[in-house]
Amino acid sequence: MDYYCERIDLSFWSEPVNALTNLGFILAGLLAFYLMSQSSNKTPAPVHLKLLASFMVIIGVGSFLFHTLANYWSMMADIIPIYIFQVIFLWSYLRYALKFTPLQTVIGFVIFIVSVVATKVIPFDINGSEMYLPSIIILIVFSILAKVRNAKLDLALLLASLCFCISLTMRTIDQNICEQFPLGTHFGWHLFNSVVLFLLWFSLYQVQTKQSSKT
């Protein structure tokens, strides 16, 4: 599977930069685990924070496999963990940061899933990045809701939104600039998205920290 500028043959190391920049996801996950271990609160970290940190690492491993093996099963190892991370974050942010009721959370979850499916039929092609458009919209909506419901901006979420716009742009233009820049820009998707995932986790980590300090 040859989807990126950097790949010029079917060898394992045909995409060394795209492959190795996945270390960013792994480091982000390990940093999240480190912060949880250093917390002054003796209460164990919530399951959703541990899951999100774990999936950062899994995403890095899965994406590394895809950018080295470049076959169907490794592509699934790349895509599926990303979707799972999104689902965990969506549910967790609605429940714990925005304090939605279970019914409201389910409705928000369904809206997101429908919007992702709807990207399959949009009348334009942006190099396979269509499926991530609902995620950007969700982050912006969450930022607005956080300000309305909590009377305070979620700076981590806002910064994640900005970084995600940059990373998605770099993913989208990769195939269009191969002649001018043979390395491509997909590696930027990895690096900026590593920051995005950590900031999403950190946003929820701050929520948990504030709640623990009140108890």
Query: Residue 22 class from Cβ within 10 Å (0-12 exposed, 13-18 middle, 19+ buried)?
Result: buried
Task: Locate the domains of the chain by residue range.
Answer: 16-214
Segment 118-143, tens digit of pLDDT = 988 887 788 888 889 999 999 999 99
- pTM of the predicted model, to two decimals? 0.94
**Alpha-carbon span 40 to 148, nearest angstrom:** 30
**Alpha-carbon span 151 to 109, nearest angstrom:** 23
Segment 36-47, tens digit of pLDDT = 998 766 678 899
> With the C-alpha atoms ordered 90, 95, 98, 102, is the resulting torsion angle positive or negative?
positive
- The residues, any chain, with a CB within 8 Å of residue 176's CB and separated by 6 or more, are 127
- Mean pLDDT of all residues belonging to the chain: 92
pLDDT at 215 over 70: no
Across the range 156-162, mean pLDDT stands at: 95
DSSP letter (8 states) at residue 93: I
How high is the pLDDT of residue 138?
Answer: 92
Domain spanning 16-214, CATH class = mainly alpha
